[in-house]
Homo-oligomer: A and B are copies of this chain.
Amino acid sequence: MEDISYITIPAGFKANGVASGMKCSDRANINPDTPKYTYLDVGLVASDTPCTVAGVYTSNLVKGHSLVRSIGIIESKKKVRGIIVNSKNANAAVGKAGIEDADFIAGAVAKELGCSPDEILTASTGVIGSRLPLDLISAAIPELVSGLSSSEETAHNSEYAMMTTDTVPKEVSAEITLADERTIRIAGQAKGSGMIHPNLATMIGIFTTDADIDADLLKKMLKDAVKYTFNRVSVDGDTSVCDMVVVLANGASGVKIEEGSEDADVFAEALRSLCEDIARMIASDGEGATKFVEVEVYGAGSEADAKLIVSAVAKSPLCKTAFYGMDANCGRILTAVGYSGAKFDPEHVDIKLSGLLVYKDGVAADFDEDEASRLLHEHDIKVEIFLHEGDCYDRMFTCDFSHDYVTINGSYRT
């Protein structure tokens, strides 16, 4: 599926991504051998016709200006034509100018597309506290809009343009056959690597579908879809100011999804599954990550306790450096469970590391160190915690904490 996933698979969508010069100031001499995400920095996903739209946003009290503008449009239930995303600059914490800058960019896109500015959503990701370089972005917009197409190449370019410290593009799609041979398509793309933590952190996700869905139903399905997927990814515990996931539904398939129908269930599950696929990709591509780690808790006494426990383990620098070092230092997992704030009896805790029992009834099990080492040398690591307090479950996706995380974040801005 990876090979053929891109954002314009649903009918009636076009996309493009261009280099404005924010990522690479020497636009005339871009080396074509370097990955496209090193120079593409402004992306656009647009529909031929107006779309219903739903969004979920960062819980950070400080919100970027491009995001604040988009929230206003989405929550007013207006239909939209597309979303422009820039990387390299978060358009955050610059005061009133930030909203004006976002308006200016949306206006420039709208003029080229022939629609109203408030039909264009804006999103920005990157460094906080600097004005957007409007000259560079506005100079790039004509090329950005005129190059829009439904081709695989321009679709991928729109994804590359969103990437910051991501090292791999994150694109998914599904074609769904409903009753009576009717088909609809959903596609998604995202950026997100560091600063990923519930809720949503520095990720931007864009989903498109050619189903015809009412905005309220779309919002409900999106909220359900992110709950155990994007809201269960932690790379470093930090939560950014710019994050959002949006779904644009243009109805180009001619298939209407009605609330309460079997079709709605099928669609909701497909959307959730695609969100999970991207959530796993984000954790795997965490800044400097060498491991993908899934933390699961079984038998918690409450949903809140279950979430506290998976969060504590997934955020623990000591657990994450041990995964990096491939050291079966499972006492650190028990320690994190202990300080999570969840209520449980320490003498009834079992812990498995990729299936190997390492703690039984709160006591270190006499496990085979060679087997543990072998399991920790796998790329995918699973931690399962059994509390025997109740029947609540939760899980979180994360990665390890490596030297490269420190290198990347010690000098991201400069």
Closest to A61 in B: B338
1/0 contact string of A309-349 vs chain B (CB within 8 Å): 00000011110011011011111101111110011101000
> Does A128 touch B at the CB level, under 8 Å?
yes
Q: Are B129's CB and A321's CB within 8 A?
A: no
**Residues of chain B contacted by A107 (CB below 8 angstroms):** none
Partner of A409, one of B62, B237, B317: B317
Count residues on chain A whose CB falls below 8 Å from chain B CBs.
64
Q: Flag whether A60 is at the interface (Cβ < 8 A).
A: yes
A220 at the interface (CB under 8 A from B): no
Q: Are A336 and B238 in contact (CB under 8 A)?
A: yes
Instruction: Point out the residue from B321, B336, B363, B411 that lies within 8 Å of A406, measured CB to CB.
Output: B321
Residues of chain B within 8 A of A318, CB atoms compared: 194-195, 236, 238, 409
Instruction: Indicate if A104 sits at the interface (CB-CB under 8 A).
Output: no
Taking CB atoms, residues of chain B closer than 8 Å to A22 are none
- The secondary-structure label for the interface of chain A is loop
Question: At the interface, yes or no: A151 with Cβ under 8 Å from chain B?
Answer: no
Answer whether A334 and B409 are a contact pair too, CB < 8 Å, given A93-B362, A315-B237.
no
- A61 to B339 CA separation, bound complex (whole angstroms): 6
Residues of chain B contacted by A115 (CB below 8 angstroms):
none
Q: Which residues of B contact A316 (CB under 8 A)?
A: 237-238
The segment out of A2-10, A137-145, A167-175, A397-405 that lies at the interface is A397-405
Q: Are A344 and B129 in contact (CB under 8 A)?
A: no
CB neighbours (8 Å) of A239 from chain B are: 335, 338-339
Whole-angstrom CA separation of A194 from B318 in the bound complex: 9
Contacts of A331 in B (CB 8 A): 90, 92-93, 127-129
Given A129-B364, A364-B128, A241:B409 Cβ within 8 A:
no
**Is residue A359 within 8 Å, beta carbon to beta carbon, of the partner chain?**
yes
- Contact code string A370-414 (vs B, CB < 8 Å = 1, else 0): 000000000000000000000000000000011101110111111
Task: Check: A240 CB closer than 8 A to any chain B CB.
Answer: yes
A62 B334 Cβ-Cβ under 8 A: yes
For A411, what are the chain B residues with a Cβ–Cβ distance below 8 Å?
325, 327
Residue of B nearest to A97 (CB): B363
Return the contact of A62 from the options B62, B129, B327, B346 (Cβ within 8 A).
Answer: B346
CB A139 to nearest CB in B, in angstroms, measures 24
Q: Are A324 and B410 in contact (CB under 8 A)?
A: yes
Task: Give the CA-CA distance A335 to B240 in the complex, in Å.
Answer: 6
Smallest Cβ distance from A386 to chain B, in angstroms?
A: 15
A95 within 8 A of B: yes
CA A413 to CA B197, docked complex, whole Å: 28
B407 in contact with A403 (CB, 8 Å): yes
Q: Which of these, B330, B339, B406, contacts A401 with CB under 8 Å?
A: B406
Q: Is A255 an interface residue (CB 8 A)?
A: no
Is A94 part of the binding interface, using a Cβ–Cβ cutoff of 8 Å? Answer: yes
Q: How far is the CB of A132 from chain B (nearest CB, A)?
A: 13
Q: Complex Cα distance A338/B128, Å?
A: 13
Given A128-B331, A318-B238, A327-B410: A95 in contact with B339 (beta carbons within 8 A): no
Name the distance in Å between A24's Cβ and chain B's nearest Cβ.
Answer: 21
Q: How far is the CA of A413 from the CA of B372 in the complex (A)?
A: 14
A231 located at the interface, meaning its Cβ lies under 8 Å from any Cβ of chain B in the complex: no
Q: Judge whether A321 and B410 touch: CB under 8 Å.
A: yes
- Please tell me if A302 contacts chain B, counting CB pairs below 8 Å: no
CA distance A325 to B130 in the complex (A): 19
A235-260 vs B: 1/0 string, CB under 8 Å? Answer: 01111110000000000000000000
The answer to whether A337 touches B94 (Cβ under 8 A) is no
A381 to chain B, nearest CB (A): 14
Closest-by-CB residue of B relative to A337 is B62
Q: Which of B93, B321, B328 contacts A334 (CB 8 A)?
A: B93
* Interface: A59 (CB within 8 A): yes
Q: List 9 A-B contacts (CB under 8 A).
A: A62-B337, A93-B363, A94-B364, A237-B317, A238-B332, A321-B410, A325-B410, A327-B411, A402-B406
